Amino acid sequence: MLNRWYLCTAIAALLCLLTLSCVSSTDQATNRSKTQATNASSPQATTSPTPSPKTNVDFGRYATTSSFKLNTLPTTPYGPPWADISLEKSNFLECEGASIALCYYSGPGPTTPCNLESGGDLANCTCYAIPKGQKYKVLINAILNLDVYLKTVEVCGKDGSKCKPTGSIQAPVCEAINNNTLIPGADMISTFSLYLEKQMPIHPTTCATPAAYAGCMTAPCKQTGKTDPNTGLPLVQCGCPTYTGPYQVGTQISQDQCVLGGTSIWSAAYQPPKQQ
């Protein structure tokens, strides 16, 4: 009789353990499903940016690229370096010295046209050559030379805040441009300058519908021997990688001018709206 009581008790205990184990497994599976569903539906759920599939750009007309490493790292979550994305004011590094190309106003002709080349990966943009000794700005997220980008981020911080003008250090990319080593063989590099602001006021226009545009920041340029009679500045041709997405044009235009006809595209950049 006692043995039978022990046997019944053992069987009952085993059944309880099995029941608890099943319940626990079911709860864990349910919790995993809820977590996955929450992550999928949450607006904050994001995927990590991945390097661009574009691994090379043929700058052969504008530079010597045998020793040049194209930066394909995801410098921002919004696009590769040639998307020309700015997230913070500190992203623009202040430099001074070299003659640089200003492609900010490039797009439709006749003076500074910007046209897609065969294949569409590169645009040939006519830009203004700004004299030596002027201050200019470089977007840290748009440095096309991989080695110079990594060195600049190491010194300035990823957002550029440790370097001028927000910090006290000169950015390594400034030295590379001033020494003409950013992209070997280029006559000059495209950056940003306020040199023509009085003659050509800045009135950015947002083109929210994604379209192709030329990302000219740190692109290589070649002299043309031509001069713009209106500004008295030499004109250069720059090879600017293209990107498709929303963008801002540097001049005031109507929305129906956001996408130009034929092979013409805007030299543009993009500043995403601040998250609320």
Decide: 271 and 163 in contact? Cβ < 8 Å.
no
The answer to whether the beta carbons of residues 189 and 164 sit under 8 Å apart is no
Mean pLDDT over 6-20 rounds to: 38
Give the pLDDT of residue 47.
32
pLDDT at residue 54, rounded to an integer: 60
User: In the chain, what is the greatest distance between 2 CA atoms, to the nearest angstrom?
Assistant: 115
Contacts 24+ apart (CB under 8 A), 194-197: 194/135, 195/102, 195/128, 195/130, 195/131, 195/134, 196/102, 196/105, 196/128, 196/231
Mean pLDDT across the stretch 197-210?
A: 94
Residues 35-89: tens digit of each pLDDT: 333 333 332 223 334 445 565 678 888 987 777 899 999 999 999 999 999 999 9
- Report whether 125 contacts 216 (CB < 8 A): yes
- Provide the token pair at 226: 């031509």
Nearest to 108 by CA among 206, 213, 218: 213
Q: What is the dihedral of CA 10, 14, 17, 19, to 10 degrees?
A: -130
pLDDT tens, residue by residue, 109-124: 899 999 999 888 999 9
Percent of the chain whose predicted confidence (pLDDT) is above 70: 79
Report pTM.
0.80
> Residues 181, 98: contact at Cβ < 8 Å?
no
d(CA 32, CA 29): 5
Whole-angstrom distance, CA of residue 67 vs CA of residue 213: 27
Provide the 8-state DSSP code for 143.
Answer: -
- Lowest mean per-residue pLDDT among 95-99, 163-167, 199-203: 199-203
Which of 143, 139, 147, 173 is CA-nearest to residue 68?
Answer: 147
